[in-house]
């Protein structure tokens, strides 16, 4: 006998081998025409889907289908599990196969959805997985969800999935104003006010405001999301997108250890270690900012396990990154052999190590490697020819101030800029070691100008050594503390509470006679710093 379920709390014990991964996934209300046995799996699937726990959600939706083979929404949910909705490309192969299992054509599938609301959900994914390229399909899906929202404006599940459809379509329509993200965030916040344990509302608020400008709007939701979905790695990690924008390093470090461990427990041979890699990367950055270098080394060991166990190129690349970052952040300089195909970060770390240890031959070799990579990168020929290819035009500046995320992938607007910055940083460090001070400062100002044309990082520092920070250190070295203080403040504006920028700011402000500001920056640093004590130049003699 079918019945509507008015409200179900998704925190029930489940007597199956996968029980642990399906407990504690939030709270929502999604009444449907599903039979009770199918509805229980469906609700868990929806809750996990809201947290992008694709593999876990697929299992639940398929159990719902098994319990009730003609339950249309169980197929609807599964179709949404095979593509990340915020990626620019979406492969329709698996979703179309799922729809084909429900019915041979669109009309047959719609006939199995007995209510207007359920038909609306099914028709929307027909648009998403229908004809046209990815951009056209995402826009069509958003439009279909908008029609469903107009029909059911007080339905929280309609509202949250509509919000996500807006986020998905925002890059497809090239929204340079950021208005679509704000609209999606406002819809999700409306649901959050009524249900602070809703996994979709909390999650989509974070994605909508995942930039330095809007991050304060998402802090309350991030704090809530940090505890309500412990069963899904992405959900455990996601609040740190907001925590990192506030320089909340304890939360960034420890929340990402939890996320890594959840992903590790779920990983099976053949899986791409995406959640492990991402959370491990951010977790290590958090430990480095705390000055907890032992914790950072443990994260490297976790990456070594991941690279060896998964044999996945993404894991190997991430391992190279965290090793290079450790050297640069700790300043434990070490010159090592570097392969021709080494990552940009590895080459930079080795080059800076060579400069600091006096191995100028190796430093210049690393500089030449970065020069070649910079020239080969997108925009490299223009940059090499002296054209100001990295200067930001007015519309792009407005885009960055609005906090709109840059397009991902090698074709994005910031492609090639990171390696050009790193090349200038190493070239400047070599020049400084040779006492070519004016040349060094000029190169670092050029690097900072390029970095200012990029959106501020919404994660770990990118490039791995912020150019404003290195400029500040160079200006201190040549005895220009007031200018150095400005550079460190520019770095902190882009990355709040970054430890080495705070250290530099304390020293620079004190040397420039800005005692009050130096004391404030020192208080901020010592409020979280767990590493070697940093002396206070405003009081030390």
For every residue of 131-187, DSSP letters joined together read SS-HHHHHHHHHHHHHHHHHHSTT-HHHHHHHHHHHHHHHTTTT-SS-HHHHHHHHH
Long-range contacts of 117-120 (CB under 8 A, 24+ apart): 117/148, 117/151, 117/152, 117/155, 117/158, 118/32, 118/33, 118/72, 118/73, 120/144, 120/147, 120/148, 120/151, 120/152, 120/158
CA atoms within 13 A on the CB side of 456: 21
According to the model, what pLDDT value does residue 413 have?
63
According to the model, what pLDDT value does residue 176 have?
78
Cα–Cα distance, 91 to 128 (Å, whole number): 10
239-253 burial string, b = 16+ CB within 10 Å, else e? bbbbbbbbbbbebbb
| Residue ranges, CATH 1.25.40.10, the chain | 8-246
Q: pLDDT tens digits for 36-94? A: 999 999 999 999 999 999 999 999 999 999 999 999 999 999 999 999 998 877 889 99
**Length reported for the chain:** 541
According to the model, what pLDDT value does residue 455 have?
84
3-state secondary structure of 227: helix
Please state the CATH superfamily assignment of the domain spanning residues 8-246 in this structure. Tetratricopeptide repeat domain (1.25.40.10)
According to the model, what pLDDT value does residue 171 have?
81
According to the model, what pLDDT value does residue 23 have?
62
Instruction: Please list the rounded mean pLDDT of every run of 10 residues in the chain (541 residues).
Output: 36 34 78 95 96 95 97 98 88 95 96 97 97 93 98 98 96 85 97 96 97 93 96 95 96 96 90 88 97 97 93 91 98 95 96 98 98 89 41 31 35 79 98 98 98 90 97 98 98 96 98 97 97 80 48
Regarding beta strands 8-9 and 27-28, do their DSSP bridges make them parallel or antiparallel, or are they unpaired? Answer: antiparallel
According to the model, what pLDDT value does residue 381 have?
59
According to the model, what pLDDT value does residue 456 have?
85
According to the model, what pLDDT value does residue 3 have?
37
According to the model, what pLDDT value does residue 70 have?
97
According to the model, what pLDDT value does residue 465 have?
98
pTM above 0.85, yes or no: yes
Cα–Cα distance, 42 to 57 (Å, whole number): 9
Radius of gyration of the chain from Cα atoms? 25
């Amino acid at each position: 006998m079918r019945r509507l379920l008015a409200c179900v709390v998704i925190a029930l014990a489940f007597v199956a081998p996968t029980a642990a991964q399906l407990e504690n996934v939030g709270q929502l209300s999604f009444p449907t025409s599903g039979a009770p046995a199918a509805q229980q799996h469906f609700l868990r699937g929806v809750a996990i889907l809201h947290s992008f726990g694709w593999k876990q959600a697929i299992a639940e939706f398929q159990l719902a289908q098994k319990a009730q083979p003609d339950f249309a929404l169980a197929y609807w949910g599964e179709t949404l599990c095979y593509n990340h909705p915020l990626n620019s490309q979406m492969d329709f192969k698996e979703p179309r196969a799922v729809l084909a299992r429900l019915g041979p054509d669109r009309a047959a599938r719609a006939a199995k959805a007995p209510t207007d609301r359920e038909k609306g959900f099914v028709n929307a994914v027909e648009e998403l997985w229908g004809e046209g390229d990815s951009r056209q399909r995402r826009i069509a899906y958003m439009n279909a969800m908008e029609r469903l929202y107009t029909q059911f404006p007080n339905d929280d599940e309609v509202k949250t999935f509509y919000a996500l459809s807006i986020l998905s379509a925002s890059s497809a329509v090239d929204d340079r104003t950021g208005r679509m993200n704000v609209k999606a965030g406002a819809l999700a916040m409306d649901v959050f006010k009524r249900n602070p344990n809703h996994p979709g509302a909390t999650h989509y608020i974070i994605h909508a405001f995942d930039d330095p400008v809007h991050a304060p709007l998402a802090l309350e939701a991030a704090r809530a999301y940090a505890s309500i979905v412990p069963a899904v790695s992405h959900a455990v990690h996601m609040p740190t997108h907001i925590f990192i924008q506030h320089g909340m390093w304890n939360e960034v470090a420890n929340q990402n250890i939890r996320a890594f461990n959840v992903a590790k427990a779920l990983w099976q041979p053949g899986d791409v270690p995406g959640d492990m890699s991402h959370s491990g990367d951010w977790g290590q950055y958090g430990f480095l900012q705390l000055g907890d270098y032992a914790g950072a080394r443990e994260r490297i060991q976790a990456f070594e396990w991941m690279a060896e166990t998964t044999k996945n190129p993404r894991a190997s690349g991430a391992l190279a990154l965290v090793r290079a970052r450790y050297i640069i952040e700790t300043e434990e300089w070490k010159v090592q052999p570097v392969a021709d195909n080494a990552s940009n970060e590895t080459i930079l770390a080795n080059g800076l190590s060579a400069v600091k240890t006096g191995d100028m031959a190796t430093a210049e070799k690393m500089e030449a490697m970065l020069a070649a990579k910079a020239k080969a990168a997108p925009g490299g020929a223009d940059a090499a020819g002296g054209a100001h290819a990295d200067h930001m035009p007015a519309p792009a500046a407005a885009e960055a101030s609005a906090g709109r995320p840059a397009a991902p992938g090698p074709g994005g607007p910031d492609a090639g800029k990171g390696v050009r910055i790193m090349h200038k940083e190493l070239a400047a460090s070599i020049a400084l070691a040779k006492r070519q001070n004016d040349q060094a400062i000029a190169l670092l100002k050029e690097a900072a100008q390029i970095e200012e044309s990029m959106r501020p990082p919404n994660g770990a520092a990118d490039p791995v050594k912020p150019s404003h920070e290195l400029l500040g250190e160079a200006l201190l070295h040549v005895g220009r503390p007031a200018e150095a203080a400005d550079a460190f403040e520019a770095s902190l504006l882009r990355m709040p509470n970054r430890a080495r920028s705070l250290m530099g700011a304390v020293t620079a402000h004190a040397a420039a006679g800005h005692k009050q500001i130096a004391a404030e920056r020192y208080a901020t640093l010592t409020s979280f710093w767990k590493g070697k004590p940093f002396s206070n130049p405003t009081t030390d003699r």
